[in-house]
Amino acid sequence: MDHLSKALRQRRSVRTFLKKPVDPSLLESLQAYASKIQNPFGIEVRFVFLDAKEHHLSAPVLSNEPFYIAAVVNKVPYGEEAVGYAFEKLMLKAVSEGLGTVWIGGTMKREMFEKAAGIKEGERMPCITPIGYPAKPAFRESMMRKGVGADKRISSDELFFEGSFTVPLTEQDPVINEALEAVRWAPSAVNKQPWRIVRKDGRFHFYKYSEKNYFSEAVGDMQRIDAGIALCHFITVLEENGRKADIIIEDPKIREDDHLTYIASVITERETENE
């Protein structure tokens, strides 16, 4: 058991780092952990660790970052969700070890990062994260967080539903409540929180909610990545509370809005016991 729930609650986007290298043994530990991460979609996600100085890498929104990790995946269906799930798990592990991380998909010199990561034909590198020891946020970082409302979240009754998208979900199970709250506070591009969950027949059906197209050839669909992050948070809490959780892809056909796209469903231990 990884015991990432505490890191999940503590995590924040870090863009300002101390001017000190990451302990080599810690980097080795993270690399070993990264090599063993699995995602419920069965799609390989390759993690490339990059020394910023060695590869002459930088990003305009960051300060003093000593290292980067790039996530690489084949251009296949559900590749974005696999990246979101697996990369968030790696970031949570880094946070649990005292490091800072932040999802970056656009504000970087992409060509340099893709070259350093060794991108091959048929692959894409949707996102990177810096890793290092967090420092006090610079003024620029504080303004960025304020600009996207990083410390605010959409209310639960606008995100989680029962049976359809018209009835807010009320849940008495404290573990499910914790898992849903973990989803609510999951990171997402410009804090859009582009996920909706409908519980029906005991299953939790995850949808992407989007009012415009967030697809690009270099990144894929950024909001599908966000959905993968949300799934990671939900399942992490369930599993660390002793609940079995499986992801299946069986569209329940309960969309009630053109902006909604079905992603996947989570079957919990409770439903299995009832069967």
Both structure tokens of 176: 């499910």
Q: First and final CA of the chain: distance in angstroms? A: 27
Q: Does 150 or 167 have the greater pLDDT score?
A: 167
pLDDT of residue 184: 95
Q: Does 51 or 144 have the greater pLDDT score?
A: 51
Q: Does 145 or 198 have the greater pLDDT score?
A: 198
Rounded average pLDDT over 108-135:
97
Question: Span 5-140: which CATH code?
Answer: 3.40.109.10
Q: Report whether pLDDT(273) > 80.
A: no
Residues of the chain within CATH 3.40.109.10 domain(s) are 5-140, 156-274
Tell me which architecture the domain covering 156-274 has in CATH.
3-Layer(aba) Sandwich (3.40)
Q: Report whether pLDDT(143) > 70.
A: no
Q: Does 226 or 211 have the greater pLDDT score?
A: 226
Rounded average pLDDT over 90-95:
97
pLDDT of residue 272: 41
Q: Find the range with the poorest average confidence among 8-17, 118-127, 140-149.
A: 140-149
CA atoms of 92 and 80, how far apart (whole Å): 18
| pLDDT per residue as tens digits for the range 250-259 | 999 998 788 9
Rounded average pLDDT over 260-273:
80
Rounded average pLDDT over 79-98:
97
> What is the secondary structure of 36-104 as a DSSP string?
H---TT---EEEEEEEHHHHT---TT-BS--EEEEEEEES-TTHHHHHHHHHHHHHHHHHHTT-BB--B
pLDDT of residue 256: 75
